[in-house]
Structure 1
Amino acid sequence: MSSPTSKRAGQVWAHVGQPFTATEFDVVIIGAGRMGAALALYLGQLGSGLPEHSLSVLLVEEGGLPNEEGATILASGVWTTLDLPPAQHARAEWTRQQLETALGEVQFQPRPLVALYPDAEPEVQPTREVLAPFPEALALIDPDRLPFARLDAQAATYRPASVALNAAQQAIKLGVNLLLNTRATPSLGGVRLERLTVTNTHQIVTHEVVQVRAGQVIVAAGAAGASLAEHSLGRHIPHAEAYMQYPQLAFASQSRTPTLRVGPLTLRPAHGQWTLEAQPAHRDPPNYQPCGGKLTGVPTGLRRELLELLVAQMEAVPALASEKLELGRSLSDIAGAWVSLNPFPAWQALGDGVYLLQGGPNADTLGLSVAYELAGEVGKAACGV
């Protein structure tokens, strides 16, 4: 497949008023979250370094950039090697270098992470000693029930949504094309594109359908990616997903306040308060529709599984039993998104020039390195190297 070698910036189609007449690309990436956008950037850099191997790349996103309905904009953005297997540390350090120097302003901020335990663990310290400099953090927990702590002084926080935005902008400067507000479905040898628009009654409808040919297709659609590839290509792909919510805790936090981890619950300082992130204990069943639960008989916007987890932690984290926990009146009051549950970010070749790229709980620490690795693989396959 022929590829242009021009250094001109890529084209951006943001709405259906811009005619889209392209019919063929070397690579089409479905999903412009941080994983898909980073992959587009690394493919653009590959062509920049090897002009004779420049690729025509199309990055497709169903919403805007960043997509406010996707998991990227809600992801915690906590970089830490705490509990990370040693074999993954090199990838983690490479990702950190990218976040610190290569992706523009993502508000990468050194912020310690403190994991709290009820019983002694290897390499622990007294909780009161570790959190003594941070009374605002100590006020959330019961140090008598969580007397032991492990400190990751090298941890940091950043904004994953800024990663997606900055990576896509840099990719466009390197010649990558961006198509927004478009639903994409992989097919053998190409991609089916449904350009979306909104009616005067606020309904999202398909404005036009376009079929483009593609030498390589990467499905980077987050939690929906595996089922999208499975249903479109007829391949069985084991995967798991869950609907995660991010309620707020209206206790004060500061720029130097550490991130706290209590079992599956992470308390992340954000906007002068705290955001709660609870790792799901299990996958959600197919076709599950999340719904709110009840706390002491009162309907809330928090799903039942999350309420059960928070109740289980209330003795160790008394702040959860206060009126400062934002319960919401409906599910729409609490920010949430579907997330994939694969333990580590990974890519998978599905055959016929199609790849699946997924993040997961460790995408904050490892995601960019996996996207970079796949860019090299896709670049070699597309260029016949």
Structure 2
Amino acid sequence: MMLGMSETASKAGQVWAHVGQAFVDPGYDVIVAGAGRMGAACALYLRQLAPDLRTLLLDEGGLPNEDGATILAPGIWTGMDLPAAWQAEALWVRTQVATVFGDAGFDERTLLELHAQEMDGTVQTSSLQARFPTLSTLVQMEGLPFARLDPQAATYRPGAVALACAQQAIRQGADLMLNARATLVPGGVQVERLTVTNTHQIITHETHVLSAPRVIIALGAGGPYAAEHDLGVHTAHARAYRQVPRLNVSSDSASPVLRASGLTLRPQAGGYTLVPPIHHRDPHGYVPQGGHLTGVPTGLRRETLEDLVALMDLLPVLGTGALELGRSISDVPGAWLVLPGGSPGGRPQHQALPGGAHLLLGGPLADVLGLSTAYDLAASMAGVQTRPWN
């Protein structure tokens, strides 16, 4: 994907998009492996906070990378249920997405969390019918008569944030290499520049070993495995495979985000994207498999299918033809999601590893706290003590 470099200044970084562009290692202070939302944001903040550090951003595909979780992230900002100590940080992220990355499709939407029992802060679901006329077409209100509201919630496109971060980082002097597979080595990375043959095979065109005092591992769910496999460093992190089925029920700019029993219904492209809850980690070597519905094979993995079947009484629309079941696992979009370990609430985090490497992890709260975590790592490397949300 071309990045539109015509607007760049003379100090802009170099982009290597294909193997026809010869590469000679100029020497780097920081190498960021992974140009998803977290990696691209960290590269940008490094250029802003420590412009003297020569920075290279690597990605195995394009921007945003369809192989990663960024493009399938829910893109939902909400402060609901966040501890008070995290609220200011989350609001800073909201402002970044809404104002700094103007092409991210930021759209304010109320979030409704539906409950079977009354609790602090809930209102009668039926009282919201006039405000949200389509609510009764989705929800069995007698079964979910109570709702909590987050009027500050919003939706946006995480993939657009990743692209905007990379573009701004390059304009401010970071280098970018696409179609480059990174393998961690002590003190740097081994980079395989990939190309496609006339029979559509992806092969390694050339290999470079790049040294750098600092390496940021922003490979999403593959990051902890890379640290363990390539560097021999044990981590406590896990991963899970999450699918995002489609629900073909009409939505518009006024439709709220709905959440019931951990399942999120996110208005998107005139319908809804379903974001199931994460119940547990998936074991190493697990290969996602589809499930069965009334004896018919479907593209939804068994765990996701069980969640949807369990909610069909409360959300009757899930039992109709509006739910896209797919014919195989590849018909229903899905991606691996990292589950940061040792982190309260599973919040994003960065972890220092031996030899100058750093793991940068997103996870279930990446939409809300991912950018601030990337900033925090960049600030730590730059020696900056203050944070803009404090």
Query: Is 1:30 aligned with 2:28?
Result: no
Q: State the SS of the aligned residue for 1:286.
A: coil
Report if aligned partners of 1:9, 1:175 keep a CA contact under 8 Å in 2: yes
CA–CA separation in structure 1 for the residues paired with 2:135 and 2:33: 40
Q: Deviations over 1:295-337 (max 9, x none)?
A: 0011111111100110111111101000110001111111111
Aligned partner of 1:12 in structure 2 is: 15
CA–CA separation in structure 2 for the residues paired with 1:76 and 1:256: 18
Q: Deviations over 1:69-107 (max 9, x none)?
A: 211011111000111111111110111111122223211
Q: After the TM superposition, which residues 327-346 of structure 1 pair with which residues of structure 2 at under 5 Å, given as runs?
A: 327-342=325-340, 343-346=346-349
Residue 46 of structure 2 aligns with an amino acid whose one-letter code is: L
Which of 293, 300, 306 is equivalent to 2:298? 300
Aligned partner of 1:51 in structure 2 is: none
Residue 132 of structure 2 aligns with an amino acid whose one-letter code is: F
1:239 Cα deviation (Å)? Answer: 1.1
Q: State the SS of the aligned residue for 1:209.
A: strand
1:179 Cα deviation (Å)? Answer: 0.5
Which of 121, 137, 140 is equivalent to 1:123? 121
CA–CA separation in structure 2 for the residues paired with 1:289 and 1:202: 24
Q: For structure 2, list consecutive stretches of 5 or more residues without a partner in the other structure.
A: 1-8, 341-345, 385-390
Aligned partner of 1:172 in structure 2 is: 170
Residue 360 of structure 1 aligns with an amino acid whose one-letter code is: G
Which of 370, 375, 382 is equivalent to 2:373? 370
Greater displacement, 103-112 / 70-79 = 103-112
Report if aligned partners of 1:23, 1:211 keep a CA contact under 8 Å in 2: no
Aligned partner of 2:216 in structure 1 is: 218
Report if aligned partners of 1:7, 1:174 keep a CA contact under 8 Å in 2: no
Query: Is 1:229 aligned with 2:232?
Result: no
CA–CA separation in structure 2 for the residues paired with 1:174 and 1:351: 29
Query: Is 1:151 aligned with 2:149?
Result: yes
Aligned partner of 2:343 in structure 1 is: none
Aligned partner of 1:272 in structure 2 is: 270
CA–CA separation in structure 2 for the residues paired with 1:132 and 1:288: 46
CA–CA separation in structure 2 for the residues paired with 1:211 and 1:224: 20
CA–CA separation in structure 2 for the residues paired with 1:341 and 1:259: 23
Which of 46, 57, 61 is equivalent to 2:49? 46
CA–CA separation in structure 2 for the residues paired with 1:220 and 1:121: 39
CA–CA separation in structure 2 for the residues paired with 1:137 and 1:338: 31
CA RMSD of aligned residues (A): 1.3
CA–CA separation in structure 1 for the residues paired with 2:338 and 2:10: 36
Q: After the TM superposition, which residues 85-104 of structure 1 pair with which residues of structure 2 at under 5 Å, given as runs?
A: 85-104=83-102
1:23 Cα deviation (Å)? Answer: 5.1
Report if aligned partners of 1:137, 1:253 keep a CA contact under 8 Å in 2: no
1:138 Cα deviation (Å)? Answer: 2.7
TM-score scaled by length of structure 2: 0.93
CA–CA separation in structure 2 for the residues paired with 1:20 and 1:104: 33
Which consecutive segments of 4 or more residues in structure 1 shift more than 2 A? none
Report if aligned partners of 1:7, 1:175 keep a CA contact under 8 Å in 2: no
Residue 367 of structure 2 aligns with an amino acid whose one-letter code is: D
Q: For structure 1, list consecutive stretches of 5 or more residues without a partner in the other structure.
A: 1-5, 49-53
Query: Is 1:107 aligned with 2:105?
Result: yes
Q: Deviations over 1:101-156 (max 9, x none)?
A: 22232111111100001111211100111343112233111010001100000100
CA–CA separation in structure 2 for the residues paired with 1:287 and 1:130: 45
1:187 Cα deviation (Å)? Answer: 1.5
CA–CA separation in structure 2 for the residues paired with 1:224 and 1:136: 40
Residue 332 of structure 1 aligns with an amino acid whose one-letter code is: S
Q: State the SS of the aligned residue for 1:25.
A: coil
Aligned partner of 2:77 in structure 1 is: 79
CA–CA separation in structure 2 for the residues paired with 1:250 and 1:170: 36
Q: Deviations over 1:154-194 (max 9, x none)?
A: 10011000000001000000000001011101221111101
1:7 Cα deviation (Å)? Answer: 6.3
Aligned partner of 1:380 in structure 2 is: 383
CA–CA separation in structure 1 for the residues paired with 2:108 and 2:157: 13
CA–CA separation in structure 1 for the residues paired with 2:278 and 2:15: 37
Which of 259, 262, 267 is equivalent to 1:261? 259
Report if aligned partners of 1:103, 1:163 keep a CA contact under 8 Å in 2: yes
Counterparts in 2 of 1:92 and 1:131: CA distance versus 1, 3 Å:
farther
CA–CA separation in structure 1 for the residues paired with 2:101 and 2:50: 18
CA–CA separation in structure 1 for the residues paired with 2:88 and 2:225: 31
CA–CA separation in structure 1 for the residues paired with 2:371 and 2:174: 18
Report if aligned partners of 1:241, 1:338 keep a CA contact under 8 Å in 2: yes
- Alignment length, in residue pairs? 371
Aligned partner of 1:3 in structure 2 is: none
Report if aligned partners of 1:130, 1:151 keep a CA contact under 8 Å in 2: no
Aligned partner of 2:312 in structure 1 is: 314
CA–CA separation in structure 2 for the residues paired with 1:347 and 1:131: 43
Residue 156 of structure 1 aligns with an amino acid whose one-letter code is: A
TM-score scaled by length of structure 1: 0.94
Q: State the SS of the aligned residue for 1:328.
A: coil
Identity percentage over the alignment?
55
